[in-house]
Structure 1
C-alpha cells in the first residue's frame, strides 16, 4: 500500500477496501463463490467468503495484533468484548463462536437485513467495515478505563506499552484520578523535528487558553517524563521529545469513549500528516518567491519594451520559463564553462606575446631610391 493510502487509512475507522468489497457482494445479482483475503496497514488481515449455496450470507473474519504484548489474545477476544460487538452489530451480524482458525473474530452478515435505502445501506456497510477500529477501541477501553474501581493506595501504576503503528509505541499510565498518555516522538529529518517542535509548543499554548479549558491538557518535554523512569533506553531515545496528554473521566463519558480512544491511537499519524502538509506549504511558498524574484530579474534584463512584456507574459503562463533559463545549467556545466573561459584567456594572452616577439614587421631600407614623377 502506498504511503499516502496508509496515512489516510489511519484516519478512517472503516476500511476503504472492505467497504468496496462488501458493496459489490451485496449488490451482485447472480451469487457466486468468493474467497478473498485482504491485508492492510498494521498487520491487519480480513477474510471475506461468500458461497453460492448461501446467497444471503457473507462470512467476515478479522485478525489484528494486540495493542500490548502484555495482553495476548491467543484464544480469541474476551467474552466482554464479544458482548459489546454483538450489541453494536446485532441488527445484521451474527457472531460465530469459535472463530475461524487464525482469526480473532468471525461474523456472518445477513444481506436480507440491510435497509433498502442506498444511504442507509452504505452506512451499515461502513459500520461493519470499521470492526477493526471497534476491536482496538474496546481493547484500550478495557485495559485502561476503570478509574472508579482502582485502588486509591496505588498512586501510579506501571506504564503500559501500546503499539498500534509499527515501530511507534506509546505509553499509558493509569493513576487514581486521570490517565496520562505519553508519546515518544521520532523523526527522520531535522526539518521535521523543527516543524513538529513548533507544533507541540503551539498545542501547549492553545491548551492553556480559556477556550480549551475542557480539553485534555497537553505538555511537551525534550526529556523523558517522570512516569517513564525505569523503561528501556531504546524506548526513551528520541529527537522530537515527549508529548503527554492528561485524560480525565469526563473525557470518556458516553459517546466520547470511542472518539478519545481513536484520537490516541492515531496521534502519530496526525502529527506526520501535519508535518508533511507544513513542509509542502513552505516549499510551495519558497517556489513562488523564487519565481517572483526571477521574474524581476528577467524584466530588468529585457528592458521594458511592449514586445518583451508580451514575451514575458507568455513565458510566465508556460510555468515561469525565466526560472528555467536562469537555472537551466547544472553545476558541472557551469564549472566547465568557467574552465574554458580561463583557458581561452590564457591562450589569447600568450599568443599576443608570441606575436610581439617573433612576428614583428621588419623595416627594410630600399636599395633603390625612387623619385616622384610630376
Structure 2
C-alpha cells in the first residue's frame, strides 16, 4: 500500500506556495480527490496568515452518522490532532463537512511549517480513521455492518470475541483480471499466515459465516471474499489511522496490482515478440546471403563454362584459319612452281628452223 499515500499532494503544493510567496496572494481554489473527496482552500491578500480549508467527505456508514455533518467524536479527534495551528470553524462552509482555519504564524522554523503542512494534508485520513474506529468500537458481538467508502465496492466489518474481521466482496468484469486477482489472493493468504505481526488473511469463493443474513445482491461475486482479522494491537494509537487507511483502500490497491501485473505481462510479451522477430529476420538475412552466394557460384560456373567454350571455339576457328592459310600458301607455291617449270621448259628448248614455235617467236 506504499503507493496509496494518505496525504493530499495538491493540498501540500497549494499551502507550500502560500507560505513561500514573497508577497501575499489571494487564493480561492476547489479540487477533488479519489472521486468523492472535495477540498476548498481560501485565503485573502489582506489576511494571508489565516487560511480556511474546507473538506467534504461522505460518511462510511449512514447508520452510524445519519446527519450530513461530521459527528462530535470526529470533530474532537480533529481538534486534538491540529490544535497547535488549526481551529475548527462551526458551522462549516456550505456544502462541506469540515472547515479548518489554519494559522502557521506561531511556527517560526521552515521545517516546522513544512511538517504542519504535511500533517494538514492527512485531514482526510484523520476523519475517515476516526469514523472507522468509532464504528469498530460500537460493533455488536454478532452480525456485520456495511461500510461504503467506494459506492461501487462496499465492504463489511464484524466483531467476534478477541478480533474484528474486515470482509471484502470482490467483483471483476474481465476474466483476465479475475485470474490475476485469484493468484494474488492466494499469495496474500500465504504471506499473511507466515508473518505473526501482520493481520491474518483468508480467501474463500463462498461467503464467510459472518455475512449470514445479508442480502443476496451484496453476496453475489465472481472473485470470492477476502477477510482480514484485525487484532487489538492493530488499532492502538497511531496504528489505528494507518490500519483504517489500508482497509479503506484495499480494493483500490487490488485494482492497481492487477493493472501493474497486466502491463508487466504485456511488456514481457512485447519483448519476447521483438526477440523472436529479430531471430527470424536474422535467419532470413542469412538465408538470403546463402542464396546469393549460391547464385554467384552458379553464375561464376556458368561464366567459366562459357569462357571455356568460347576458348575452344576460338582455338577451332584459329586452327581452321591456319589450315586455310596453309592451303592457300601450298596452292600459291604449287602454281608458282608450275609456272617456273613451264617457263624453264620453254626457254630451254633448242631453236630449229621450220618449227612453228620459233617461227612464231621470230
Q: Same fold (TM over 0.5)?
A: yes
> Is 1:197–2:182 an aligned residue pair?
yes
Structure 2: gaps of 5 or more residues: 290-362
2:125–2:241 contact (8 Å) kept in structure 1: no
1:101 aligned residue: 94
Give the deviation of 1:133 after TM superposition.
1.3
Report the structure number with the largest CA radius of gyration. 2
Q: CA deviation at 1:88?
A: 0.8
Shift of 1:274: 1.1
1:302–1:186: structure 2 CA closer, same or farther, 3 Å change rule?
Answer: same
Q: C-alpha root-mean-square deviation of aligned residues, in Å?
A: 2.3
Match of 2:350 in 1: none
- Look up the SS of the partner of 1:58 in the other structure: strand
Offset of residue 109 of structure 1: 0.6
Written as runs of structure 1 = structure 2, the 5 A alignment for 1:170-209 is 170-209=155-194
Task: Decide which of 104, 113, 118 is 2:106's aligned counterpart.
Answer: 113
SS in 1 for 2:49: strand
Normalising by structure 1, we get a TM-score of 0.72
For residues 76 and 275 of structure 2, the distance between their equivalents in structure 1, rounded to whole angstroms, comes to 63
User: Aligned-pair distance for 1:305?
Assistant: 8.8
Q: Which residue of 2 aligns with 1:38?
A: 31
8 Å contact from structure 1 (residues 42, 164) kept in 2: no
1:58–1:111 CA contact under 8 A, matched in 2: no
Following the alignment from structure 1 to structure 2, what is the Cα–Cα distance between the partners of residues 214 and 83?
Answer: 30
Alignment partner, residue 273 of structure 1: 256
TM-score by length of 2: 0.75
Aligned partner of 1:324 in structure 2 is none
Report what 1:216 is aligned to: 199
Instruction: Kindly report which structure 2 residues correspond to 1:1-374, keeping only aligned pairs within 5 A, or say none.
Output: 11-72=4-65, 74=67, 76-117=69-110, 119-145=111-137, 155-156=141-142, 158-209=143-194, 212-303=195-286
Distance in 2 (alpha carbons) for counterparts of 1:22 and 1:40: 16
1:76 alignment partner, SS class: coil
CA distance in 1, matches of 2:22, 2:188: 52
Q: Which moved more, 1:39-48 or 1:194-203?
A: 39-48
Equivalent residue pairs, number: 290
More helix by share: 2
CA distance in 2: counterparts of 1:40 and 1:257, whole angstroms: 22
**Structure 1 residues 269, 249: closer, same or farther in 2, change over 3 A?**
same
Moved over 3 A (4+): none
1: CA distance between counterparts of 2:228 and 2:25?
50
Segments of structure 1 that go 5 or more residues without pairing to the other structure are 1-6, 307-374
